[in-house]
């Protein structure tokens, strides 16, 4: 018997967004329905496998490289596909939400080689943002995008200039899109973001000498990479474009993925273009997976855990070695500083730290790195220009000197820093301010001169949860308790919410829910999404 036709997609509970009919065409919705019908059941199985693996980590308190895939790691011959010309030189990449039209123009004009157009951590997935992110990218690829402020200032693409290559980041596998359903089931947000962007832009990009390029977030295993690879194969066949047209860079931003980097590249090898060291989500994942593993896994204040910490050095150096061994790009972490308009001294100190961080990455062999603001592009570019010279990358640096054991990646107990009262307050401040903005539909938020996204809010609330349960004693002698967190949160609510519009009380309540609930919530965006307008 022939396979049943996919259930048609329905747009449900969605407020109308201007021009959404350009995105939600009958043909595009049929493609999403086909993706959903074919791949959502496997997505569900893999989410269940995540829970099983987390239970195993809780039981054993350890992680190791997979014995069953040792042959892949030991085989010296395989390589990922050569990078297409548009992704050959990636020395500076700028990040930002796809739904912000002004930031879209600024990112494309920034001088960065790549723009990570984000539907994930830097975007709050309101229906308005989901649709407008797609519209912005459709318009950007056809050079018909501009933005005028209420004050009359216009932002437009520089004519005849080389624009940043777009690499779109869809939502993670765990998030659904409630406004698109088939057979009563919500479609995974990852398939919505990928599918709409691919459907509307793939052939246009290929005709322009580029292609549909993606960043894959929050991957936890090579099985999840295999699912993405199968999605790519299906999509290319469906659209009638050459196999291998899609290229993907995987964010190694979960602790479990750090043990499967070679396997992830192997699964995606005809579509892989690199791996990225996603610092903030990586720390969040480490806390989440080892949250109840005892004192040795209690991290100090977020800002005290730098990339020079031994376990972070092990992770990043292993990533560079793995990528270059297999012919892939290794992309470094985020410089999140947002320059101050009022304090040049703050800028000078921060920019010197950014310069040192990018020089360290370039010296370690990374092929490029991330920045969050156009003013940081020249700083990062100078660091990589000095290291790369005339070369487009550093894949010749195989880093065979790197030796990382399984225990090195989780050796967090040797840090000198300890949790502080200032760190606890900062965690509350960042999480509260970010959640409040997220509930208003803003996913990239400047807080204390840093661009914060969902990953940093996840670290903040996860540390609060862990510190309470571990009975952490701060530098002031105070023990971290539910009562102390509630006291600090009430103080910050009174301070931040005074005279302000927004969902401050709702954000406060949600923060306490995800930071203090007896059972740890895997992602704060799951209960937050239920509150999102």
Q: Radius of gyration of the chain from Cα atoms? A: 22
What confidence score (pLDDT) does residue 533 get? 74
> What's the pLDDT tens digit per position in 435-476?
999 999 999 999 999 999 999 999 999 999 999 999 999 999
Neighbours of 453 (CB within 10 A): 26
Per annotation, catalytic residue among 89, 113, 453, 461: 453
The Cα–Cα gap between 487 and 490 comes to 5
The Cα–Cα gap between 47 and 122 comes to 22
Question: Does residue 499 carry a pLDDT above 60?
Answer: no
- With a pLDDT cut of 90, the percent of the chain lying above it is 91
Residue reference for tokens 């070679």: 262
Per annotation, catalytic residue among 91, 169, 360, 433: 169
SS3 409: helix
460 contact partners, CB below 8 Å, separation of at least 6: 302, 426, 427, 428, 430, 431, 434
The sheet carrying 176-182 orders its strands as 9-11, 176-182, 185-188
- With a pLDDT cut of 70, the percent of the chain lying above it is 98
CA 143 centroid distance within chain: 26
> What's the pLDDT tens digit per position in 310-342?
999 999 999 999 999 999 999 999 999 999 888
Question: Does residue 295 carry a pLDDT above 90?
Answer: no
CA distances (Å), origin 235, targets 8, 194, 232, 239, 483: 18, 10, 5, 6, 51
Confidence of residue 278 (pLDDT cuts 50, 70, 90): confident
What domains can be seen in the chain, in order of their start residue? 20-336+390-407 (3.20.20.360), 418-531 (1.20.1220.12)
What confidence score (pLDDT) does residue 257 get? 98
The Cα–Cα gap between 329 and 401 comes to 18
Pick 498 or 405 by higher pLDDT: 405
Question: Does residue 414 carry a pLDDT above 90?
Answer: no
**355 a catalytic residue:** no
Residue 385 CB burial class (10 angstroms; 0-12, 13-18, ≥19): middle
CA 410 centroid distance within chain: 21
What confidence score (pLDDT) does residue 340 get? 85
What confidence score (pLDDT) does residue 1 get? 41
Determine the average pLDDT of the residues in 474-501.
89
> What's the pLDDT tens digit per position in 74-103?
999 999 999 999 999 999 999 999 999 999
SS3 170: coil
Determine the average pLDDT of the residues in 283-290.
96
**416 a catalytic residue:** no
SS3 103: helix
> What's the pLDDT tens digit per position in 3-51?
556 778 999 999 999 999 999 999 999 999 999 999 999 999 999 999 9
Question: How big is the chain, counted in residues?
Answer: 533
What confidence score (pLDDT) does residue 5 get? 64
Q: Are strands 272-277 and 329-335 parallel, antiparallel or unpaired?
A: parallel
Residue reference for tokens 């150096």: 317
Confidence of residue 497 (pLDDT cuts 50, 70, 90): low
> What's the pLDDT tens digit per position in 111-147?
999 999 999 999 999 999 999 999 999 999 999 999 9
Q: Are 454 and 376 in contact (CB under 8 A)?
A: no
């Amino acid at each position: 018997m022939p396979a049943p036709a996919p259930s048609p997609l329905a747009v449900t509970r969605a407020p109308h967004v201007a021009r959404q009919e350009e995105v939600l065409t009958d043909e595009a919705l049929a493609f999403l329905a086909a993706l959903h019908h074919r791949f959502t059941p496997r997505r569900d199985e893999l989410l269940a496998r995540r829970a099983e693996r987390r239970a195993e980590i809780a039981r054993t308190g350890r992680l190791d490289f997979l014995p069953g895939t040792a042959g892949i790691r030991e085989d010296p011959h395989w390589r990922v596909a050569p990078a297409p010309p548009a992704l050959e030189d990636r020395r500076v990449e700028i990040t930002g939400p796809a739904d912000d039209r002004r930031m879209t123009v600024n990112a494309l004009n920034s001088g960065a080689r790549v723009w990570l157009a984000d539907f994930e951590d830097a975007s709050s997935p309101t229906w308005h943002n989901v649709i407008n992110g797609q519209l912005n990218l459709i318009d950007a690829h056809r050079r018909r995008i501009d933005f005028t402020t209420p004050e009359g200032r216009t932002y437009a693409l520089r004519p005849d200039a080389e624009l940043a290559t777009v690499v779109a980041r869809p939502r993670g596998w765990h998030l659904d899109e409630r406004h698109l359903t088939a057979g009563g089931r919500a479609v995974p947000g990852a398939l919505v973001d990928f599918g709409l962007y691919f459907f509307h832009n793939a052939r246009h990009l290929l005709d322009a000498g580029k292609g549909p390029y993606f960043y894959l977030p929050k991957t936890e295993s090579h099985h999840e990479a295999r699912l993405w690879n199968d999605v790519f194969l299906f999509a290319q066949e469906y659209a009638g474009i050459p196999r291998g047209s899609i290229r993907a860079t995987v964010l190694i931003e979960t602790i479990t993925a750090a043990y499967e980097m070679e396997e992830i590249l192997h699964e995606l090898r005809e579509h892989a273009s690199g791996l990225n060291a996603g610092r903030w989500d990586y720390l969040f994942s480490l806390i989440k997976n080892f949250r109840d593993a005892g004192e040795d896994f209690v991290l100090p204040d977020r800002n005290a855990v730098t990339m020079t910490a031994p376990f972070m050095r092990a992770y990043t150096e292993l990533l560079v070695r793995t990528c270059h061994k297999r012919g892939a790009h290794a992309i470094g972490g985020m410089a999140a500083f947002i320059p101050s308009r009022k304090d040049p001294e703050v800028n000078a100190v921060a920019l010197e730290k950014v310069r040192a961080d990018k020089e360290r990455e370039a010296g370690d062999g990374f092929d490029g790195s991330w920045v969050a603001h156009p003013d940081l592009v020249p700083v990062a570019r100078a660091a990589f220009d000095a290291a790369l010279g005339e070369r487009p990358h550093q894949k010749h640096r195989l880093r065979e000197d790197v030796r990382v054991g399984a225990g090195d990646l989780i050796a967090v107990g040797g840090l000198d820093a300890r949790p502080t009262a200032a760190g606890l307050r900062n965690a509350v401040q960042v999480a509260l301010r970010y959640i409040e903005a997220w509930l208003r539909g803003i996913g990239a938020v400047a807080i204390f001169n840093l661009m914060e996204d969902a990953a940093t809010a996840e670290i903040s609330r996860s540390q609060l949860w862990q510190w309470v349960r571990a009975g952490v004693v701060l530098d002031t002698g105070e023990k971290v308790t539910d009562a102390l967190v509630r006291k600090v949160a009430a103080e910050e609510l009174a301070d931040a919410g005074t005279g302000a519009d927004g969902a401050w009380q709702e954000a406060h309540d949600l923060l306490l829910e995800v930071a203090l609930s007896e059972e740890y919530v895997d992602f704060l965006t799951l209960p937050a999404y239920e509150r999102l307008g």
